[in-house]
Amino acid sequence: MPGMVLFGRRWAIASDDLVFPGFFELFLRVLWWIGVLTLYVMHRRKLDCAGGVLLSSYLIVLMVLLAVVICTVSAIVCVSMKGTICNPGPRKSMSKLLYIRLALFLPEMVWASLGAAWVAEGVQCDRTVVNGIVATVVVSWIIIAATVVTIIIVFDPLGGKMAPYSSAGPSHPDSNDSSQLLNGLKTAATSVWETRIKFLCCCIGKDDHTRVAFSSTAELFSTYFSDTDLVPSDIAAGLALLHQQQDNVSNSQEPSEVISHSPGDSQEADLDAELENCHHYMQFAAAAYGWPLYIYRNPFTGLCKIGGDCCRSRTTEYDLVGGDQLNCHFSSILQTTRLQYRDFIHISFHDKVYELPFLVALDHRKEAVVVAVRGTMSLQGIAQAARYIYRRLINDGILSQAFSVAPEYRLVVVGHSLGAGAAALLAIMLRSSYPQVRAYAFSPPRGLLSKSLYEYSKDFIVSLVLGKDVIPRLSVTNLEDLKKRILRVIAHSNKPKYKILLQGCWYELFGGNPDNFPTELDGGDQGDLTQPLLGEQSLLTHWSPAYSSSSDSPLDSPPKYPPLYPPGRIIYLEEEGNSGRFGCWAAARYRARWSHEAEFSKILIGPKMLTDHMPDILMRALDSMVADRAACLSCPGQGVSNTDVV
């Protein structure tokens, strides 16, 4: 539901978000109350000492205060468990209870201060009693400090600006005043998200390029999250419901109902060859990440393998740009690619937001000049990064130098993640000068190319996608679709949020039948509502910049952004079954096939939507699949199976 309004402003917490923190505080308070009661009952006879009356009074009043707090927190938990996300009527008393709860902090702070002062006076009582009271004072201040931290966390800097417009928006969208107001809100939202992102990326430099990237990334986040009247837990509940709904639809589909896009005999014939190429060139894409990824993939032997070369001084026979003073990056690159020192033409560790590290090497096994690009921080910076590398390769004569050594070789450009997007654009830019160029994009972002450029890229670009990887499904249009689906599933949820989150965690961890998690209100349930449900449109501010203002329903209005597509032909490593929900309990099973871009037109929700994007997971999948397919080819009388074990 919309965030609660307290003290005249909206907060980033809803009235049904207090179940779990309330239970946690209740548990601590009850234990604390029992401990204080035990201390008083067992040692009250030892309080006949100088200052003992004060300490006895402190314990008695503290027990009374704790009892009142326990009753108040119990009431908050009970009220927070009522209703559903979009039926806040049963929780209308929550704001009053919170005011009472917050008011109780004043006597708690006063009494904790008095207790600290009395103990500091050096009372001549039994040390066990004094130490117990010191412990109660310390616990009091810890809880008070934790409350202050919680208030800071749930504080929404935009709450005071956005609350009046959360449901209806400006009355005259075309007026100058409304336009200025919306621009002010958008600027404020971008500023808040920029602060949040800078806080999360505190180790990043603060040059002009970085500031531009932070601003563009913050604008993206503010566009998709600041125009919804939802709190973070609402989005988490919506994602949990979407995952169950998605699995329910998938399970109910007959095989004939599944949309299939067969690429034809010619593409099927070279699937094995392209899989082998992907397996080979993924090593170069991984090498571009340097020693951190190598150590992560080889936690027990990595340091031993590259440690000897890290501090060894060498005469540089290749062009080196940027910082690798200890030679650790290059040592990991040698270990990952299995190339020789002399096979490298150029290595750039120069790392800024739009100026990416990349390497140029001679791959004698495939007779190719390989350009491997590392990823970028910003979706908006992919094109700038590709242009930067293009200028370096052409204007600085790097490719000319490489082909002067091996003129018969062909050019291959590779990259992973956002680096795959930069590699694909770089290959398109280089094709006029190098018609035989090939590109292998591993887990590239979807929202990259226009329709015509997507069709053009099929001749020389191959993309590889693993499982439910979110990045190849990430585009402006898909983000809009995901937001609409979240709003709809939340609006039709018939369960309290705490049950949705609990059942969602159980489903993610242990699986289950998605039919057991209904998301539609039955007719009988609606009669029990204490007030009308909040509709879908009430969860989305009508001044949302992502939708057309001419439509009566923002959820049904067409997006203002044109559709964009992933690069080239797509090999999809599709998971079979639900084994290995987190990729560590059981081996996942995949099958490789050519896929159509339409299969990536929606973001899929699941526990592997992030882990399937990790380069080490992708490399392990390719290692096993290529080995198994080779084994099947060598088996007499056996065809190549589409099912491989990872």
Q: Give me the active site residues, please.
A: 417, 469
* Beta-sheet pairing, 344-348 with 319-321: parallel
Amino acid in the structure at residue 43: H
Q: Are 62 and 32 in contact (CB under 8 A)?
A: no
H helix runs in 253-397, sequence order: 265-269, 271-287, 291-297, 302-310, 328-337, 382-395
| 3-state secondary structure at position 200 | helix
Q: Give buried/exposed letters for 22-35 (b at 16+ CB in 10 A, else e).
A: bbebbeebeebbee
Q: Which of 58, 59, 54, 57 is nearest to 40 (CA)?
A: 59
Residue 386 CA to residue 424 CA, distance in Å, equals 9
Alpha-carbon distance 182 to 176, whole Å? 10
CA neighbor of 537 nearest in space, from 524, 558, 548, 552: 552
Pairing of strands 438-442, 461-466: parallel
CB 592 within 8 A of CB 275: yes
Distance (Å, whole) CA 353 – CA 527:
56
The 3-class secondary structure across 594-630, one letter per residue, is EECHHHHCCCCCCCCCCHHHCHHHHHHHHHHHHHHHH
Determine the Cα–Cα distance for residues 630 and 297; give it in Å rounded to an integer: 24
428: nearest Cα among 453, 462, 464, 407: 453
Are the C-beta atoms of 494 and 465 separated by less than 8 Å?
A: no
- 412: closest CA among 282, 269, 569, 291? 282
How far is residue 628's CA from residue 640's CA, in Å, rounded to a whole number? 9
Give dist(CA 423, CA 358) in Å, integer: 10
CA gyration radius, the chain: 30
Q: How many CA atoms lie within 13 A of 66 on its CB side?
A: 25
What's phi and psi for 371, nearest 5 deg? -110, 115
